[in-house]
Structure 1
């Protein structure tokens, strides 16, 4: 996908070329807006009555049980699945119209991509738009690809074939491919699936930098919230056949998550201030669970943000 440089959320922010933006403050504008949206397959309603908005510069998870329609929601936002009712706007346009301004990492990327491609060739697909045929690439395109790879930490693997890379490194190549067109919105479908703990942390670190340093809006389909908790600002949760959006302070509620996942869930805060969500199906009903107040969640997020690396933004792509 090719596209224009992202809109800045605040004067003085840098885009993915490292240049100063001069756009008006858009921090309160919505990146995604649902209005009575519904999706059906045949006679089956996947979800309905979706009415909410997701702010720009947010990091949002889409959560729910298997079959609830998480990936379906992302495909609807991309205009790949028709709505049976209502409408969805993404970056101020009807779903599907702004895809050139969106970077997308599908769930099946690491298994579907041709493993004989080098990391550089794979990232360049984000500019050439196809995996097939011979394409002459320019020096400017290769420069953009290397800046994207440098940002995600795989520049030194440019000449490696994907078959030579670990799952975590292939996932970062996938993110670089999505970044090379300088998107405003990054969508990732289960980006942490099948990765070991170190690779999950490395991937989340890349997402944190994209959000904090470049102001990028990020949306992630997620099964497990734990690794993403320090960077999430909100979540869309698919509950009882309806999608809802809420800030993380409200989503991290033991009763809500228990209802959502159909098993007893605790939201636990450690003495160090870290927190995690854990199922506890054998917990007796008369035991008071170790949950936390929303203010504790907010304090944790502030603490995590303060400890993010403060390195200058490295540019994945140049503006053409």
Structure 2
């Protein structure tokens, strides 16, 4: 049996890894061929590669012949000397014909603007799949998210979930007590956990969320990536009127500037709400008309396909 020595001239120890002999042999041949091709394409003599990598010419010859049981450390030296990443040498895809590896190489050398454009395009493609048939209604309180979500779910034959009710079910207390006990930061953490639960549990549903969720970048990012988002909107006057009809006098009680504050909140959040994929304006519309509008938007955009 011919002994194989390492770059110091020492006898290499037998491979004790878990790869079957045939797989190990194929890997060694693949690595050797790629090292040889990369060296020849770059016009680098084996002696020069030896000097750059610190691996002896004799061992490089064994490596290129597919007979060198090279260590990861030495292979990293060779890869670096050739100007390649180590996975380029050992991966199963052919680096000279693989479109994926070619794109990866081009991406690494592209400027930041090109890289950002590529990432945005790929993320958009990924999101279409990751959103499944989940629909999320966003918008300021009083726009009609809960009512439209419940009736829209019935019309479309899919489940409806109100995120705050999910938080109440898991915390065992009303939202008001959750806010008092955990504070705003604690509530936002519970809100993010609830969104993740909904994603894991449902591939098809309508979800209604609180108006301020868009101000939490990470949680809002989850919604944008995993749901087909629809902004349910209405006029400030109807926002205020509907909240009061629900029996909540807080928006107006003792605050003559409540409408100005509401308009300011709506104005500040509009750029975030506008990130939704679609909109339904409930201003001056009956409940039945708004439900029909919601169903039409869902069908037009193919959110349940």
TM-score by length of 2: 0.29
- Look at both structures and tell me which one has the larger radius of gyration over its CA atoms: 2
Higher strand share: 1
Question: TM-score, normalised to structure 1's length?
Answer: 0.28
Query: Which one scores higher on RCO, CA 8 angstroms, separation ≥ 6?
Result: 1
